[in-house]
Amino acid sequence: MDASFWIDRPVLITGCTGLTGSWLSSRLLEYGANVVGLIRDHVPRSQLTYSGIISKISTVNGDICDYELLERILAEYEIDTIFHLAAQTIVSIANRAPLSTFETNIKGTWTLLEAARRNPTVQQILVASTDRVYGDQVSLPYVEDMALFGSHPYDVSKGCADLISLAYVQTFDLPLVITRSTNIYGGGDLNWNRLIPGSMRSVVRGQRPVIRSDGSFRRDYVFVKDVICGYMTAAEKLQADSLKGQVFNLGTDQPTSVLDVVKTIIDVSGNPRLDPLILDEENKEVLDKHVDSSKAKELLGWDPQFNLRSGLNLTLDWYRKYLVVS
């Protein structure tokens, strides 16, 4: 990353209270950017608030689907760069109540892009997507030019957002790039139903981590600091190298079984007696999922700096501090 690129640059982050949004806000502040965060709900326990970063950025309260609000933000703050992270990301919630997921993930995307195309100060837009848009594929790993086969509300909503984003590039020449990340983890994820946050909380409290499946599912897990490095590098390169309309997978290319992830968490916790409790109740998930990140490495020069063990070590340190005072 080029730190000088961000000095005094007006940046809008949608979804800044989320896991990646919180850490991205922090890194951009370190690099001297003028960060504006769009916040729908006050989340007092988010990393953005917990770290104190929220008091150091400009915040606007409102909904990503509010067109007039977005036009005002882009115009009044003279936004140059947009990181579009706002989304309803919890798969179980999307399956239970899909309308709010469709509203935020799909309408929220076209509303933001329509406002952006009408604002002359916007120079680059990064849309954060997910490997789930690929759905079930005959072959692995997922590569960027595969068809999008999402079949459940969350997957479909993000796939729609990707297609809408690319349509704005082709039709309106919008300066935009898409990243599709694998499973992002790190301190600040408070969705305890997810594997890593739930397992972290268990080991910190001296309890056995719970695995809902049989533990054999293989996924790629990427540390949040590597992801935000990918986001920022893509935004920088978008302006410098004309990567308009490109899609980049962000992952470690090292899929790991759920059981091995939990065993690593137990190992770094220093409490080997906490054998995982395997429920073997989840059998609807695709057995193996991972991406090929070689395009990001070749065109962006992006390469993850944290392996699973080192990332989990840092993540566990965060949860130990957080859970002691919570």
Domains located in the chain, CATH noted: 3-185+222-252+289-305 (3.40.50.720)
CA–CA separation, 101 and 255 (whole Å): 28
What is the residue whose two structure tokens read 């067109």?
Answer: 67
Find out whether 199 and 268 touch, Cβ atoms under 8 Å. no
Q: Which residues does residue 18 pair with via DSSP β-bridges, in sequence order?
A: none
pLDDT of residue 181: 97
Residue type, 292: D
pLDDT one-digit tens code per residue, 114-140: 999 999 999 999 999 999 999 988 889
The active-site residue out of 50, 142, 154, 322 is 154
Residue 168 bears catalytic tag:
no
User: How many other CB atoms are there within 10 angstroms of residue 189's CB atom?
Assistant: 23
Cis peptide upstream of residue 141 (ω within 30 degrees of 0)? yes
CA–CA separation, 184 and 105 (whole Å): 18
Across the 326 residues of the chain, what is the mean pLDDT of every consecutive 10-residue run?
93 96 97 97 88 95 97 98 93 89 96 97 97 90 94 94 98 97 95 94 94 91 98 92 92 95 96 88 72 96 96 97 76
